[in-house]
A = this chain, B = another copy of it.
Amino acid sequence: MEALTGIRWNAALRSCFPILSWLPRYNLTCARMDVIAGVTVGLTAVPQALAYAEVAGLPVQVRTFTSSHTLSLGKVFLRRCFFVFQYGLYSAFMGCFIYCIFGTSKDITLGPTAIMSLLCSGYIGGDPVFAVVLTLLCGVIQAGMALLRLGFLLDFISYPVIKGFTCAAAVTIGFGQVKNILGLKEIPQQFFLQVYYTFHKIPEARVGDVILGLCCLFFLIMMTLMKNTLGPAEDEAPSLVRSARGLVWSIATIRNALVVVAATAVAYSSEVTGHHFFSLTGKTAKGLPPFKAPPLSETLANGTVITFSDIAKDLGGGLAVIPLMGVLESIAIAKAFGSQNNYRIDANQELFAIEYKWVVSHHNDVPAGLTNIMGSFVSAYPVTGSFGRTAVNSQTGVRTPAGGIVTGVIVLLSLAFLMPLFFFIPKASLAAVIICAVSPMMDFRVPVQLWRVKRLDLVPFLVTFLVSFWEVQYGIVGGVAVSALMLLYIMARPKVKVSDHGVAVLELDSGLNFPVTEHLSRLVYTHSLHASPPRCLVLDCCHVSSIDFTVVHELNELLKQFQLTGLSLIFAGLKPSVLKVLLTADLPVFRHTDSVDEALQLLTGIIHYDQQFSQPITDQI
């Protein structure tokens, strides 16, 4: 008994702190692999974090063109604020440490991502205080979702909606960086205006930026292609081949860091020689972010105080969209890498089974929530699981979530010691990093697949895709609404198979819920009561799994009609749960049989009886 309680406690503790399930078995091999993976991910995370901050934070003078928050526009305009690049790094380390303790999947790395940065940009309006409050609230909401088990809300975001959104976001983010490759300034943020002005201002492009950007892009694309075409390692190959292979793989894996370092070196040497060829990142803060409670109000330059509730109101729909998208991205990644690793590490299968269940049922929102809550103490903006870095982590052979600690330390070291060098990072090189990171997300095989397999599902895809260009956050909302309406329509107009065996037989193909009432009633009138001649009816309910009161009420009315016209309506093959509801409803002449055949036999018998003896139909069941 005591032992059992002990086991239960143990299980409960491990489910709260998943670190307990792998730490006792941690060994040197694990540590070696984790350090290698951690360093590699760190070298990807630092340049990406710097780059994504630019996606999330927008210069104020541009926002005046574009903000959809007309009410908050005035306030935003008053603030003197620059969302600078270190905010990306501030956001990149907390997730690594938190996930090490609470994380359940060895591969996942939390941090700033392209899509979350784009989503946040619409709500925070370039203001770090807004960003931090959003992070805090986002974390609280995600933790609340985990506690209240609201993860099922994600079930209503369908695959076409996710894909439509991802494609549109990738196009928006990718195209948004073209201006940095070209070295253009003062391009509005709204997608269509951005496209127009980017092309309009091409004559103003800076040669240095263009050349550097294209070189970076070329290198990154080459490296990606090389890595993708690199066959599997062959143990029998000579050691020279194997080391060459290893070198290419390593260079390809840390390609982002290499590109940024090289570009920075070039820019630095051109700056110190007095040539200003490139657009640089410019002024950044120094050192580590202060650890302090998130600000609960903001005082503007002109003395106006914006309270916490004002900020929360301004964030508005962002407080629903951003936490949900954050969890959605995490779970999509957990599932993708969960299923990949499920078979690869066969020894761990049993352990992984527990992990997988946890990941699926808790939707990863506990670590994401905690990371965001804690992130708000170090001036971070909302983070989620990063697909790209998770892939790097997995491919480098990480063994436990401890790899995250190494990544986190690398980010902190960059903040502490490399910050002054970040001044010289050319924007074009970061733009190239972003473009290469998001381009795999532009997966235009999806609409082709949809067209081939299920054309109707192109509708939510296209709605999400197109609306996302207008306002990225409305894309998901619109797509979810459209797919919900399509579901409701399926319920309202199910397929009904009508057949005629002397009496009409209607085979219903799903639940009898209220939207179907009118349709059902019309079918009954057309094929039975008002057919010429009027005939009896068998309702084949073998596929009917649910029924609600609206339908029961209509059936009551229909049965009255059948009674008055002297015709019969028999229900066939009712499931017990549906039968129970119909029995409690006191329907006037409720008759049911186990099968359609039985009902047909009964009805044809009765009809003969009726015709021969002109007797009223009696209820025999």
Interface residues of A (CB under 8 A from B): 152, 154-156, 158-160, 335, 339, 342-343, 353, 356-357, 360-361, 449-450, 452-454, 456-457, 483-484, 487-488, 490-495, 509-511, 513-519, 521-522, 525-526, 530, 542-543, 545-550, 552-554, 557, 560-561, 564-565, 577, 581, 584-585
B487 engages A454 (CB within 8 Å): no
A337 to B300, CA, bound (A): 67
Of the candidates B361, B510, B526, the one whose C-beta lies within 8 Å of that of A522 is B361
B339 engages A519 (CB within 8 Å): no
Report B-chain residues with C-beta under 8 Å of the C-beta of A343.
561, 564-565
A549 to B446, CA, bound (A): 10
A405 to B555, CA, bound (A): 36
Minimum CB distance partner of A350 in chain B: B532
The 5 closest A-B pairs by CB, nearest first: A158-B514, A159-B550, A509-B545, A457-B549, A353-B530
A357 engages B525 (CB within 8 Å): yes
A514 engages B548 (CB within 8 Å): no
Given contacts A159-B514, A549-B160, A553-B159, contact A356 B454 (CB under 8 A): no
A564 to B552, CA, bound (A): 48
Given contacts A356-B525, A522-B361, A548-B457, contact A487 B491 (CB under 8 A): yes
B530 engages A339 (CB within 8 Å): no
A577 to B456, CA, bound (A): 14
A518 engages B453 (CB within 8 Å): no
A-B contact pairs, 15 of them (CB 8 A): A154-B518, A155-B517, A155-B518, A155-B519, A159-B550, A159-B554, A160-B549, A342-B561, A343-B565, A357-B522, A357-B526, A484-B484, A490-B546, A495-B545, A509-B545
Given contacts A453-B585, A487-B488, A492-B152, contact A545 B543 (CB under 8 A): yes
A157 to chain B, nearest CB (A): 8
Report B-chain residues with C-beta under 8 Å of the C-beta of A487.
487-488, 491, 513-515
Report B-chain residues with C-beta under 8 Å of the C-beta of A557.
335, 339
A581 engages B453 (CB within 8 Å): yes
Minimum CB distance partner of A531 in chain B: B353
A156 engages B522 (CB within 8 Å): no
A401 to B453, CA, bound (A): 52
A450 to B494, CA, bound (A): 25
A549 engages B454 (CB within 8 Å): yes
Given contacts A154-B518, A488-B487, A543-B545, contact A453 B552 (CB under 8 A): yes
A387 to chain B, nearest CB (A): 16
A522 engages B452 (CB within 8 Å): no
A304 to chain B, nearest CB (A): 23
Minimum CB distance partner of A335 in chain B: B557
A339 to B357, CA, bound (A): 54
Given contacts A155-B515, A545-B509, contact A488 B492 (CB under 8 A): no
B549 engages A488 (CB within 8 Å): no
B156 engages A483 (CB within 8 Å): no
Given contacts A483-B514, A522-B360, contact A549 B159 (CB under 8 A): yes
A542 to B577, CA, bound (A): 18
Of the candidates B155, B360, B525, B543, the one whose C-beta lies within 8 Å of that of A492 is B155
B494 engages A491 (CB within 8 Å): no
